[in-house]
Amino acid sequence: MGSTSLIPPSTGMHHIPEPDLLQVLSAEGQRREDPDLDPWLTDITPQMLAALHRDMTVIRRIDTECTHLQRQGELALWPPLLGQEAAQVGSALAMQGQDYVFPSYRENGVAYLRGIDPLGLVRLWRGSTYAGWTPSDHNVAAQQIIIGAQALHAVGYAMGITRDGSDAAAIGYFGDGATSQGDVNEAMVFAASFHAPVVFFCQNNQWAISEPVGVQAKRHIADRPWGFGIPAMRVDGNDVLAVLAATRRALERARNGGGPTFIEAVTYRMGPHTTADDPTRYRDAAEVEAWRAKDPIDRLEKHLEGLGEDLEGIRAAAGAEADAMAAQLRAGVATLQEPGPDELFDQVYTEPHHELERQREHYRLYLEQFDGPQLTAGAL
């Protein structure tokens, strides 16, 4: 990878309007030349831009629909990704099928683009299942609630890739708040020491729940990995093309034996941390409006319009697909079956286990004392 694209701490880019921030599309939708990222965008056509627009539109609609479902009592909780669509779409489409994803709880857009049925996401947040999908079916690990733990999982898997002699790569997602967790820092130590083919993808959405990023990071987050010996890029996370190019570079570097790379995608969480959060208690409305002007979908629409494309037609096609997905999702929720107490024991061991069966029997006897769901005899 070019040295100017992997920005050392405290250095700027002469053609970038904001210091140390890689950008291809400005907030006004104007394409900027970038000698480091442009070689990774040679396949971009108007048709592909329309596809990126469609993916971001559909993902935003899934997110909005799930937020509504939670407000209506259909889901226990939901972690909105509103405003972060470009970071998720650009990075997800940079991957190859054999690459393995280790997400946090917010990468619902990444999961969708890896072929996971949105209803699987809903099952998890409804509490109808212990995992919304089988990880090996999509090369996407189960979503991680423990902040930053998936960074260790990603590095461990990447070390296994090296031992297997595969040319795949792993990518671990986390937010800015997770960079203060020991797990993320320990993961970077191991990744650097063992030259693991892994990409650390940090979605810096400016807020770790109710704490602004400036409280925990007095310099750019992308400055930190250099101390571990890991090169880093800081990209405009609302610029889908910049994210796509940067992630392609990082993954290619990993596959070619270059080791780990850290990407800080600078974006913004437009909604609450989760639907249990009220961001108006700690966030200035003027800040939200300033970031609204950098909206990733609006930015791409301005670019398409500048190219002379049929923007209304593109919007209509994307909107129709989003509407269909929302209707399918809402209809699917109505068919979900709630798990019985039997299932608590079903996915613990792959083979019969005496101690687990003893616990199952004790739990059955306990439940018999109450009116309600019972363990079935066939489960014993």
Active-site positions read: 269, 273, 282
Work out the angle at residue 47's Cα, subtended by the Cα atoms of residues 41 and 51, and round it to the nearest 5 degrees.
85
Do 379 and 342 touch, CB atoms closer than 8 A? Answer: yes
The alpha carbon dihedral of 194, 183, 135, 265 has a sign of: negative
Rounded to 10 deg, the angle between the 296-306 and 311-333 helix axes is 150
H/E element, 208? strand 207-208
* Token output for 42: 């040679």
Q: Residue 176's closest CA among 110, 121, 227, 237?
A: 237
Q: Do residues 319 and 325 lie in contact, with contact meaning Cβ atoms separated by under 8 Å?
A: no
63 CB-near residues (< 8 Å, 6+ apart): 80, 81, 82, 108, 109
If 0-12 CB within 10 Å is exposed, 13-18 middle and 19+ buried, where does residue 249 land? Answer: buried
Q: What is d(CA 27, CA 58) in angstroms, rounded to the nearest whole number?
A: 21
Among all chains, which residue has been given the structure tokens 């212990």? 130
Contact 101, 110 (CB under 8 A): yes
> Are 275 and 78 within 8 A, CB to CB?
yes
- DSSP H helices, the chain, are 46-71, 85-92, 108-113, 118-126, 135-138, 149-164, 182-193, 213-216, 240-255, 285-292, 296-306, 311-333, 354-367
Cα angle at 54 between 50 and 55, to 5 degrees?
120
- Asked if 62 contacts 325 with a C-beta cutoff of 8 angstroms, the reply is yes
